[in-house]
Structure 1
Amino acid sequence: MAEPTHLDDETLTAEKPPEDVEADVRPDDRVDDERHDEENRLKPEYVASVREAMEAGDKGAVYDLVEPLHPADIADLLELLEKDERADLAAAITDLMSSDVIAELNDHVRELMMEALAPEDVATITEQLETDDAVQLLEDLDEVDQQAIIAELEPETQAAVTSALSYPEETAGRLMNRHVMAVPEHLTVGDLIDYLREEGDLTHDFFEVFVIDAAHHPVGTCALNWILTTPRSVKLTDVMKRDQTLIPVTMDQEEVALMFQKYALISAAVVDESGRLVGQMTVDDIVHIISEEAGEDALLLSGAGDGDINEPIKEAYSSRVRWLIANLGTAVVASAIIAFFGAAIEALVALAVLMPIVASIGGNAGTQTMAVAVRAIATNQLTRSNTWRIVWRELRVALLNGATVAVLIGIAAGVIYTPMMGVVIAAAMVINIVVAGLAGVLVPVVFERIGQDPALASSVFVTMITDSMGFFAFLGLAVVSGLVPMG
């Protein structure tokens, strides 16, 4: 066997291009070039030049402007344009509308683009994609359009896509990659290397080789570095890692992401109900899932729906208005409490001045705790096993926060108005912040226990509780203390 070649500093230096020869660097690889700003975003001037070329009907100029861009930048350009402009751009750069561009597009923009293309054109794009990307491309289309495109696919791709679409949305079955490097367990390391060189499909990225038994059940894995550093005569069963994490095909994508995070996985086998290997999940898919889930939870907390600027107006309206209506109903509860103490407020205007402070601080405290609780539930840090420990923890935090804020507002109100007013608002502040802390934990927990997304409507109910309790505690204490009459 030939000895491995070692490159010394002199050899490396000789292979460097002369200083007077400009390196072959594509413009889209540079930051702050004529198309990108310092944050690697497309410059407004560049986007305007593309628009001007389209308005002039100069398809050649449009093509020349767009051709140097990376597929991800072409996707960004399409998203920056108006709806009718996107079709014109796509028509001018037909051969640049690759599968990589389509895969990078925003969901809503991609759906509109797919509806505008003929089924055979979409099928051509789909054939170039990995199965998981192909499924993502088709899953949001109407059933009729979806079937028309699937009918145009090659039999092998058609079977893979149809199988993936049969699984529920946001499960491992939808997201997994069906290109898996799997070999029988009777091979040696040398047999495996020869197989990879001669018959293995090396056009797809993989991080480990899965070892399977006669029933196609995964029994171990071999990392690439093990394969390359182990003598050829060694059996796979002697070197493979038997302890592996298997992902059920119906597992929710959020749980899959948590498993990758917990066990520091690079890839993992996906198995069907009978335990047979059907695909794999890789860390690049998980990064996308984590980003998607984090953004989704943040938007659900605010009731903003998808929170996508490309979302159709009707969908944005319907997703947001229902929570505003729900919020209106909860606000009526707080207003009713204020109306109940109307005479007290009339007797002392200071109550009207100070009570929004109590409700506002309580609302902020509740939102803080709720955000912590929702994240803890999403990452499996808050479960049935430690619920009451977390509730007790947040109660103590709330007591400390309440006491601190109460001292500050109590002193200020006592100096500006009367000592008794300071005592009343301080006590109300403690009560409301403690209630806010409890609500911030318990409301998401209750939602999770009844099988609902804890981020979905927690903010509406936590706000109702903190506003109502803030007004009730402050005005009630004012009456009880004799500061103002009840009626």
Structure 2
Amino acid sequence: MSEPIHDEDLLDPHTAEAPVDDGPHPDDRIDDERHDEENRLKPEYLRSVRGALEEGDKGAVYDLVEPLHPADIADLLELLDREDRGALAVAITDLMTSEVIAELNDHVREDMMEALEPEAVATIVEQLETDDAVQLIEDLDEEDQRAILAEVEAEDRAAIESALAYPEETAGRLMNRELVAVPERMTVGQLIDYLREQDELAPEFYEIFVVDERHHPVGTCALSWILTTPRNIALTDVMKRDQTLIPVDTDQEEVALMFQKYNLISAAVVDESGRLVGQMTVDDIVHIISEEAGEDVLLLSGAGDGDINEPIREAYSSRVRWLVANLGTALVASFIIAAFGAAIEKLVALAVLMPIVASIGGNAGTQTMAVAVRAIATNQLTRANTWRIVWRELRVALLNGATIAVLIGIGTALVFTPMLGVVIALAMVINIIVSGLAGVLVPVIFERLDQDPAVASSVFVTMITDSMGFFAFLGLAVASGLVS
């Protein structure tokens, strides 16, 4: 996808000249007319761009945007309304480089791709590595995808279509097909000569993959080893045979965990037959980790993508279904309260205090649930240690429950009656223990059912903590004889 590296492009370290200024740099942006002291685009600058767009003055728009760094152009596009983004993209087509596209929010990127002509998008695609090119067009309609791919060179088109054939968020979809693989019969010197003589190499690589005659990876060589090893040494004597191989159908979250666990910089991706078909690199993993972490937090809240650039219809659809589910679970708690309506009428203090029991229990359940979901996501909570973690959280809940029970019990006894203080203290202990158990068991159950534990755990944990809080407090009040 990227331009090949030629020998004439390499500088002799003894004669290398200072690098040529290739445009604006983020460090040069402070205190200019476009950025404030925190390097954010100023409102006045944004108004100037909007004004030029409204007047249809493409030349003025181009002059305003051209000095910006690619990351700032991406910020500008995200700050504009959806209608203005298309107009801006058309006005600055040649500035819409792969660097700009890579910085864009997913929803904004999709808008840009729809606004640009297929030829322009194809030009951007050809500048990108395969994994970035796939990410660029995977969310577009099939018709738009075909139109863009028709403008892409045959070799690049085949690589992109091959990647799109794999499921989303798998190694096959995300891997980079541009790598350096050499036969195991080479020596270090032959490898160095090979790298120097090649007209086209991957634009960036951190290690060399060594393969056998079936193209199965048998080892890796870090560039530092190659540069510090005598030329006559065989690759098989210097390569690292123990390597982490990633099947093409591995979920991206599992790939990220592999990189974290084994401290990887890059890793080979293999197909069903064990052939080397691509690689995952640490820059891809950083993006995956950030994406997965944000996704889990938003799923716990039922906020969908949680993206301010998400279309209103999609935001409504993703959020309202969880609010409807919450309405259903809230009705369960309401039925419990209704069942004790007579008791509440006789002792108003029950109505005053019961929200405290439910609220504290809900917070305790949310704490445990957050810990459990994170532990499942990072493979710290597995089938092998589930009951140890449940026992741990039960002990934590007992300590928390006892502490809060003492505080609320003393306060209630002083304000109302000693018996009511005892009742609310016992109810608090019961609810916090149940909340702690629910907070860990509900995500585990969802994970065992092959469902994302972050998706619906909060709804069920909230229902359990509210219902148990009301039932324990009101039931103990009746059983203790506070109300007859």
Same fold (TM over 0.5): yes
Structure 1 distance, partners of 2:225, 2:479, is 76
Aligned counterpart, 2:140: 141
* Matched positions, count: 469
How big is the shift at 1:24? 9.7
Does the 8 Å CA contact 1:27/1:68 hold for their aligned counterparts? no
Aligned counterpart, 2:392: 393
Structure 1 stretches of at least 4 aligned residues deviating more than 4 Å after TM superposition = none
Structure 2 letter corresponding to 1:33: D
Does the 8 Å CA contact 1:413/1:422 hold for their aligned counterparts? yes
State the secondary structure of the residue aligned to 2:454.
coil
How big is the shift at 1:60? 2.5
The equivalences for 1:252-271 within 5 A come to: 252-271=251-270
Aligned counterpart, 1:304: 303
Structure 2 distance, partners of 1:262, 1:63, is 47
Does the 8 Å CA contact 1:337/1:471 hold for their aligned counterparts? yes
Aligned counterpart, 2:8: none
Q: What's the TM-score, normalizing by structure 2?
A: 0.94
Aligned counterpart, 2:460: 461
How big is the shift at 1:87? 1.5
Q: Deviations over 1:267-313 (max 9, x none)?
A: 00000000000000000000000000000000000011111111111
Structure 2 distance, partners of 1:36, 1:444, is 45
Q: Deviations over 1:141-179 (max 9, x none)?
A: 111211222222111011100100000000000100000
Aligned counterpart, 2:340: 341
Q: Does 1:87 align with 2:76?
A: no
Q: Does 1:231 align with 2:238?
A: no
Q: Deviations over 1:384-417 (max 9, x none)?
A: 0000000000000011001111111111100000
C-alpha RMSD of matched pairs (Å): 1.8
Aligned counterpart, 1:473: 472
How big is the shift at 1:430? 0.5
Aligned counterpart, 2:110: 111
> Which structure 2 segments of 5+ residues have no match?
1-11
Does the 8 Å CA contact 1:394/1:437 hold for their aligned counterparts? yes
Q: Deviations over 1:421-452 (max 9, x none)?
A: 11111110010000000000000000000010
Structure 2 letter corresponding to 1:173: G
Structure 2 distance, partners of 1:423, 1:211, is 71
Q: Does 1:321 align with 2:320?
A: yes
Structure 2 distance, partners of 1:46, 1:417, is 62
Structure 2 distance, partners of 1:119, 1:60, is 23
State the secondary structure of the residue aligned to 1:279.
strand
Aligned counterpart, 1:26: 24
How big is the shift at 1:69? 1.4
Structure 2 distance, partners of 1:171, 1:418, is 61
Aligned counterpart, 2:219: 220
How big is the shift at 1:265? 0.2
Does the 8 Å CA contact 2:424/2:473 hold for their aligned counterparts? yes
Does the 8 Å CA contact 2:93/2:120 hold for their aligned counterparts? no
Does the 8 Å CA contact 1:300/1:455 hold for their aligned counterparts? yes
How big is the shift at 1:33? 2.5
Does the 8 Å CA contact 1:188/1:234 hold for their aligned counterparts? yes
Distance 1:6 1:297, change over 3 A: closer
How big is the shift at 1:263? 0.2
The equivalences for 1:411-422 within 5 A come to: 411-422=410-421
Structure 1 letter corresponding to 2:83: D
Structure 2 letter corresponding to 1:286: I
Does the 8 Å CA contact 1:326/1:460 hold for their aligned counterparts? yes
State the secondary structure of the residue aligned to 2:453.
coil
Does the 8 Å CA contact 2:89/2:116 hold for their aligned counterparts? no
Distance 1:331 1:179, change over 3 A: same
How big is the shift at 1:107? 1.0
Structure 2 distance, partners of 1:304, 1:318, is 10
State the secondary structure of the residue aligned to 1:328.
helix
Q: Deviations over 1:222-259 (max 9, x none)?
A: 10010000001111011111111100011000000000
Aligned counterpart, 2:285: 286
Structure 2 distance, partners of 1:28, 1:43, is 15
* Fraction of identical pairs, as percent: 81
Does the 8 Å CA contact 2:180/2:205 hold for their aligned counterparts? yes
Structure 2 letter corresponding to 1:134: A
Structure 2 distance, partners of 1:232, 1:341, is 85
State the secondary structure of the residue aligned to 1:455.
helix
Does the 8 Å CA contact 2:303/2:319 hold for their aligned counterparts? yes
Aligned counterpart, 1:402: 401
Q: Does 1:444 align with 2:448?
A: no
Does the 8 Å CA contact 2:180/2:202 hold for their aligned counterparts? no
State the secondary structure of the residue aligned to 2:257.
helix
Does the 8 Å CA contact 1:75/1:105 hold for their aligned counterparts? yes
> Which structure 1 segments of 5+ residues have no match?
8-14, 18-22
Does the 8 Å CA contact 1:221/1:241 hold for their aligned counterparts? yes
